[in-house]
A and B are shown apart, each in its own frame.
Chain A
Amino acid sequence: MASRDSRRNRGRLALFVSSIILGIAALVAINSFADNLRTDIDKQAKSLIGADLVIAAHKEIEDEQQQLLDSIAVGGDRSDEVRLVSMVQFKSSGGTRLVQVRALEKGGFPYYGAIEAEPQRASSTFREDGRKALVDQTLLLQYNAKPGDSIQVGKQTFVIAGALHKIPGQTAMTATIAPAVYIPRRYLDETGLLQKGSRVSYYHYYKLPAKTDPDKLVKKLEKRLDEAGFGYDTIESRKESTGKSYEELARFLALVGFVALLLGCVGVASAVHVYIREKLATIGVLRCLGVSGKQAFLIYLFQVMAMGFIGSIAGAVLGSLIQLYLPELFKSFLPVEVTVAVSWAAILQGIAIGVVVAVLFALLPLLSIRNISPLITLRAGIEHVSKRPDKLRWGVYFLILAFIFLFSYFQLGTWLQALAFTGGVLVAFVVLALIARGMMWLVKRFFPVSWGYVWRQSLANLYRPNNQTLLLTVSIGLGTALIATLFLMQRLLLSEVAFAASENQPNMVLFDIQTAQKDAVAKLTKDQGLPLLQQVPVVTMRLEELNGLTGADVRADTTLEISKWAFTREFRVTYRDSLISSEKTVEGEWLGEVKDPNKLVPISVEARYAERLKAGLGDTLVFNVQGALIPTVITHLREVEWNRVQTNFLILFPKGVLEEAPQFHVLMTRTQTDEQAARFQQTLVQQFPNVSAIDLGLILETLDDILGKISFVIRFMALFSISTGLLVLIGSINNSKYQRVQESVLLRTLGASRRQILGINAFEYLLLGALAAGTGIILAVAASWALALYSFEVAFVPDLSPLPPVFAGITALTVFIGMLNSRSILNRPPLEVLRRETA
């Protein structure tokens, strides 16, 4: 019966379910991609780190530790690499740039995978003969350099042997943040970059004997490695962490896709509602013929299930096609080559989710079928549906929320995040619905009676019976909200950095200045006509004890909840007698100077970091400065504005303690033009090759690039929501077409011109589009405020400039699609008004 009844309406039913196709497609595409990525990470795991084991140290290695490192290599092979950040200069163009210098020992690294370079042989020859360097290809492009040119690293000049394309385990994104320049290890000393206090990391790549299990070995050595402050990575651990981070990304994107699906389901619910209204007479006849309310309900439930199934299959097919493009989309982020294969698990999951949500949302209008009276066949005007409150409706609402909650739980992995997501979706839907309803109420309440007829009729259509105002505001509004939030957040984060570009703020930071160079660098800066905005000494140290607890104690007692990294990380600390403008006292008193350094040194800790250390005023910390232990006590907690281009510190020492400790210096200045900045950096590299400069322009550029790449991916997913919103728009225009045709034919009969009918329709879509886009934007501003405040913890000073184009674009699109679908209304002959009379 369900099939026979739907025979004449299958085209329309198909339109209902088209709105879930994109949501399912998004889910299937992302989940298929995640499946393939997982498989490829498994397959290419060894090339993720290029070795069986990598050990990293961020300080100079002591003899005892060297013995440990050597012992691991027995029976296998080891390659060493020294990494540091430094300025380089391209000789051909004179351009300078901060890069990551990697000095690689002549060894077998990478043991798995390959360093990809152009020409390929350069990946091995650069470390064999002469002073040769392998330079990241983007750098070569940027500075118009090519293999055969020269590059100055520190005091030494190297010939560029080739363009570096890919290093095992590195993504294009990593290359954007810190482009690499490889040089042979044996020439590193000649560069003069290895100086006391320089920030250097030592990487040791191991190829272990075949019978050695790297993970078991690491487990055995864990305590010693931790004590030495070494970081370590095996293929398994990297596989796990890589897989986990990409799965998190995939889960997040699947949630964005799920929002598109939910939007589509709102469309399904609305379409089924209209469909059932049109089926009232049929249902009435069926009821007269003895069909029970339950049977009538099941007839239409089966129809919705069948269409949900068909829509889901179509979505799964589309999703499987879209995933062909995803490896290209995510190229910048991926450490492995992703193959494209059909993921049956993702397809089956997508189809199951599609059918379940389509049915859940359709249940809301379907439930009313149970209460349709057979009397409707005799008197069409009677109240055909019982107005009694239906408890089952609440049950369906509960099921929908439960489904969203469970789905997000499986995507996000924690109850709290799932609750936040479900709450967020609920709030967004409720806010959009309330605004739509509020707007309808306001239009009705303060109806502009003095306006011309066309305008008034358009306004009145917003609250006509069976209007689509609510549906369209929710669906288009949510899509707009997603897009606008992305724009706002991208701008906000960029403006946080750009803020530093404002007047009198430093825009260039010089670091790694040795004590002996301090005055000469300051003089050079002044000679170049640049101001000395700040000069800060930096001392590196490690935490030995916290309230008598050592790192070993913390590792042994996990109930302490103190990060074990607190004891392995290297703190960069400064000393001075007063607070600076980016700091504010939260608690305690800042004692700027100590007379007796043998007593407990009163220090200041950044308030949020103190929370993470579970430490407060009066707690004692012992620091190790190059072997000398310094006992301290927290007497001051302060808040730090991290977004200022200044040297900000977690730990602040008073004057009178660290003056004689090994230290390097940071100098801050402000350049007026790009040319001035380039000239200054060139001179600096020539005279002080070990000193590095961070140009704020470069940071902005890099950040813009990264945010651009990330937001492109998210925008791609948000596109599903927008497209679903537009599909819902097309569907709802079709749903209300019958009513629109009736009205416009009547108006034609009464003498309205095509232009007047066109005006009424266009203005109505303009209002709908503007209302939906406006509401979405309000929601986006609220969401960005919440994200800025609670997630990114930055001040909410939004750049609203992208909003007018978003508003205009979405509104115009709504009008365009609305008018495109309304064409046939204009072409209906007015005679239909009489045909309806006799029908």
Chain B
Amino acid sequence: MPSILDIINLKKDYDSGDRHLTVLQGINFSLDAGDMCAIVGPSGSGKTTLLGLCAGLDRASSGSVILNGIKLDELSEDARAQVRNQYVGFIFQNFQLIPTLTALENVMVPMELRGERNVQQQAMELLARVGLAERADHYPTQLSGGEQQRVSLARAFSNKPAILFADEPTGNLDEETGERVEKLLFDLNREAGTTLVLVTHDLELAAKTDRIIRIKGGTVVSDQLTAFMAND
């Protein structure tokens, strides 16, 4: 399997006032296309920073991020935006829908940003896939949390991403709704054959992926396959 994401000796520093903080250092791992991986760790361990770097939302202080064969560190912000639009999908804890657009329009956004036209039909099919076809004309404020996250799922898959980054996708949902969203996420991921990187506190959710990378104090403390962990 070709590798879709290569993280090589990644380091991230911040200057906070007169303090110099190293948030991540010595991070190395690779993901193959179609992998499902969870990044877990306590609060402040650096997992969100790592997700941001992997997705090209920020630049590393040193080291490299190679996404789908493209070295992100050498790209400008606009070029990275193009890469994200082309190959990356996102799911957020707080759904992050655009309040002034309807559910359907929110799903259309990534495709339209690519300049694609007549994407309504495609977006409608995705909404139908997450069970919200009849709520296509509703604005985010008219939808429940679970519904908003389903719209977010449809949006994440709308540009047929090579890799999907999910940040606590069920963190703001009740158990029942969370389970439904989880199921949809994994089903859609499998159908599309997308690589999934999941950041979560929820070990049960993490266990549903193929691989768990544990982070503590800015370094990887363990990187195990879930099947192997189960055997442990």
Write out the residue numbers on chain A whose beta carbons fall within 8 Å of the beta carbon of B51: 834
Most buried by A among B83, B98, B100, B141: B100
> Residues of A contacting B155 with CB < 8 Å?
750
Q: Which residues of B in the span 164-185 have a Cβ within 8 Å of any Cβ on A?
A: 167-168
Give the total of B residues in contact with A, Cβ under 8 Å. 37
A750 adjacent to B101 (CB under 8 Å): no
- Considering only CB atoms, which chain A residue lies closest to B140 in the complex? A465
Bitwise interface map of B from 48 to 89 toward A, beta carbon under 8 Å scored 1, else 0: 100110010110000000000000000001100111111010
A748 to B, closest residue via Cβ: B81
Q: Which of A270-278, A453-461, A543-551, A795-803 contacts B (4 or more CB under 8 A)?
A: A453-461
A764 CA to B93 CA, complexed, in Å:
29
Given A750-B113, A830-B57, A837-B82 contact (CB < 8 Å): no
Residues of chain A from 808 to 835 with CB closer than 8 A to chain B in the complex: 829-831, 833-835
Rounded to whole angstroms, the CA-CA distance of A592 and B73 in the bound complex is 99
Roughly how many angstroms separate A829 CA and B76 CA in the complex, as a whole number?
Answer: 12
B57 partner residues in chain A, CB cutoff 8 A = 749, 829-831, 833-834
B138: interface (CB < 8 Å): no
For A318, list chain B residues within 8 Å (CB).
none
Question: A406 to chain B: which residues have CB within 8 Å?
Answer: none
A interface residue count range (under 10 / 10 to 19 / 20 to 34 / 35 or more)? 20 to 34
Cβ of A452 and Cβ of B167 under 8 Å apart? Answer: no
The answer to whether the Cβ of B108 comes within 8 Å of any Cβ in the partner chain is yes
Per the bound structure, the CA–CA distance linking A457 and B101 in Å amounts to 8
Q: Write out the residue numbers on chain A whose beta carbons fall within 8 Å of the beta carbon of B94.
A: 836-837
Asked if A569 lies at the interface with its beta carbon under 8 angstroms from chain B, I say no
The answer to whether B100 and A751 touch across the interface, beta carbons within 8 angstroms, is no
Of the candidates B43, B48, B114, which one forms a contact with A835 in the assembled complex, judged by CB atoms under 8 Å apart? B48
Q: Does A407 belong to the interface (CB within 8 Å)?
A: no
A834-B52 CB under 8 A given contacts A457-B100, A751-B81: yes
CB distance from A837 to the nearest CB of B (A): 5
Which residues of chain B (26-46) have a CB below 8 Å from chain A? Answer: 43
Please, which residues of chain A bring their CB within 8 A of the CB of B96? 746, 749, 833
Nearest chain B CB to A457 CB, angstrom units: 7
- B108's nearest neighbour on chain A, judged by CB, is A453
Query: When the two chains form their complex, are residues B167 and A753 in contact, meaning their CB atoms are under 8 A apart?
Result: no
Query: Is A679 in the interface zone, CB < 8 Å from B?
Result: no
In the bound complex, CA of A299 to CA of B85 (Å)? 47
Interface membership of B6, Cβ < 8 A: no
A715-748: CB near B (< 8 Å → 1, else 0) gives 0000000000000000000000000000100111
Residues of B within 8 Å of A463, CB to CB, are 100
Known: A750-B84, A831-B57. Contact between A837 and B100, CB under 8 A?
no
Cα of A754 to Cα of B114 in the assembled complex, Å: 13
Which residues of B sit under 8 angstroms from A835, Cβ to Cβ? Answer: 48
- Least Cβ distance of B108 to chain A in Å? 7
Expressed in whole angstroms, the minimum distance between the Cβ of A293 and any Cβ of chain B is: 26
Contact, CB under 8 Å: B81 / A753: yes
A755-791: CB near B (< 8 Å → 1, else 0) gives 1100000000000000000000000000000000000
In the bound assembly, the distance between CA atoms of A284 and B84 in angstroms comes to 39
- The closest CB in chain B to the CB of A459 belongs to B100
B131 within 8 A of A: no
* B82–A834 CB distance below 8 A: no
Kindly supply a per-residue 1/0 record for chain A positions 393-436, scoring 1 wherever the CB is within 8 Å of any chain B CB and 0 otherwise.
00000000000000000000000000000000000000000000
**Residue in A closest to B117 when the chains form the complex, CB atoms:** A452
Min CB–CB distance B58 → chain A (angstroms)? 4
Task: Say yes or no: is A464 at the interface (Cβ < 8 Å to chain B).
Answer: yes
- Distance to closest chain A CB from B14 (angstroms): 11
Residues of A with C-beta under 8 A to B157: none
Question: Within 8 Å of chain B (Cβ to Cβ): is A142?
Answer: no
Closest A residue to B93 using CB positions: A837
- For residue B147, CB closer than 8 A to chain A, the reply is no
Note all chain A residues with C-beta closer than 8 A to B88.
751
Q: Complex formed: what's the CA distance from A456 to B98 in Å? A: 12
Q: Shortest distance in angstroms between A211's beta carbon and chain B's nearest beta carbon?
A: 83
For the complex, what is the distance from the CA of A830 to the CA of B167, rounded to whole Å? Answer: 14
With a cutoff of 8 Å between Cβ atoms, the chain A residues found around residue B52 in the complex are 831, 834
Q: Which residues of B contact A746 (CB under 8 A)?
A: 96, 98
Q: Is A838 an interface residue (CB 8 A)?
A: yes
Which residues from A are CB-within-8-Å of B93?
837
For B110, give its contact among A456, A461, A751, A829 (CB under 8 Å): A751
Q: Is the CB of A751 within 8 A of B48?
A: no
Residue from B99, B113, B168 within 8 A of A752 (CB atoms): B113
Complex Cα distance A463/B141, Å?
14
User: B105's closest neighbor in chain A, by CB?
Assistant: A456
**CB within 8 Å of A: which of B86-136?**
86, 88, 90, 92-94, 96, 98-101, 105, 108-110, 112-114
Which residues of chain B have C-beta atoms less than 8 A from A833's C-beta?
A: 57, 90, 92, 96
Given contacts A456-B105, A464-B99, A465-B141, contact A752 B48 (CB under 8 A): no
Chain A residue at minimal CB-CB distance from B81? A751
Neighbouring A residues of B159 by C-beta, 8 Å: 751
**Minimum CB distance partner of A750 in chain B:** B110
Chain A residues with CB under 8 A of B90: 749-750, 833
B-contact bits for A455-475, CB 8 A (1 contact / 0 none): 011001101110000000000
With A830-B57, A834-B51 known as contacts, the answer to whether A750 contacts B109 (CB < 8 A) is yes
Kindly state the separation between the CA atoms of A461 and B113 in the bound complex, as whole angstroms: 17
Contact A752–B101 (Cβ < 8 Å): no
Of the residues B48, B58, B81, contact of A838 by C-beta under 8 Å: B48
Query: Given the known A-B contacts A751-B114, A838-B48, are A460 and B92 also in contact in the complex, defined by CB atoms under 8 Å?
Result: no
- What CA separation (Å) do A835 and B98 show in the bound complex? 18
**Do B167 and A461 have beta carbons less than 8 Å apart?**
no
Q: A461-B100, A834-B51, A837-B48 are in contact. Are A751 and B112 (CB under 8 A)?
A: no
Chain A residues positioned under 8 Å from B167 (CB to CB): 834, 837
A464 and B88 CA atoms in complex are apart in Å by 27
The listed residue (B58, B98, B110) touching A457 by CB distance below 8 A is B98
Contacts of A830 in B (CB 8 A): 57-58, 77, 81
Nearest chain-B residue to A827 (Cβ)?
B77
What residues on A are CB-neighbors of B86 within 8 Å?
751
Docked Cα-Cα span, A743 to B51, in Å, equals 20
Residues of chain A lying within 8 A (CB to CB) of residue B112? 452-453
Query: Could you tell me the distance between the alpha carbons of A52 and B55 in the complex, rounded to whole angstroms?
Result: 90
Is A747 within 8 A of B113, CB to CB?
yes
Cβ distance A838 to chain B, nearest Cβ, rounded Å:
5
Q: How far is the CB of A760 from chain B (nearest CB, A)?
A: 11
What is the minimal beta-carbon distance from B1 to any residue of chain A, in angstroms? 25
CB of B92 within 8 A of CB of A753, answer no
Is the pair B114, A837 in contact by a Cβ cutoff of 8 Å? no
A457 proximity list for chain B (CB < 8 A): 98, 100-101
Specify which chain B residues have a CB less than 8 angstroms from the CB of A838 in the assembled complex: 43, 48
Chain B residues with CB under 8 Å of A829's CB are 57-58, 77
B98: nearest chain-A partner, CB-CB: A743
Which residue, of A461, A464, A749, A751, has the highest number of chain B Cβ atoms within 10 A? A751
- Give Cα A79–Cα B58 distance, bound, in whole angstroms: 90
A750, B155: Cα distance in complex, Å: 10
**Which residue of chain A has the shortest Cβ distance to B87 in the bound complex?**
A751
Q: Given the complex, which residues of B lie within 8 Å of A465, measured CB to CB? A: 99-100, 141
Assembly CA distance A250 to B52 (angstroms): 62
Cβ A751 vs Cβ B99 within 8 A: no
Contacts of B43 in A (CB 8 A): 838
The CA of A487 and the CA of B37, in the complex, are separated in Å by 68
The answer on a CB contact under 8 Å between A837 and B92 is yes
20 contacts between A and B (CB under 8 A): A457-B100, A460-B101, A461-B100, A465-B99, A465-B141, A743-B98, A746-B98, A748-B81, A749-B57, A749-B96, A750-B110, A750-B113, A751-B81, A751-B110, A753-B113, A829-B58, A829-B77, A830-B57, A831-B57, A834-B52
Known contacts A460-B101, A837-B48; 17 further A-B pairs (Cβ under 8 A): A453-B108, A457-B100, A749-B55, A749-B96, A751-B82, A751-B84, A751-B85, A751-B113, A751-B114, A752-B81, A753-B78, A753-B81, A831-B58, A833-B57, A833-B90, A837-B168, A838-B48
5 nearest CB pairs, A to B: A751-B85, A453-B112, A460-B100, A831-B58, A464-B100
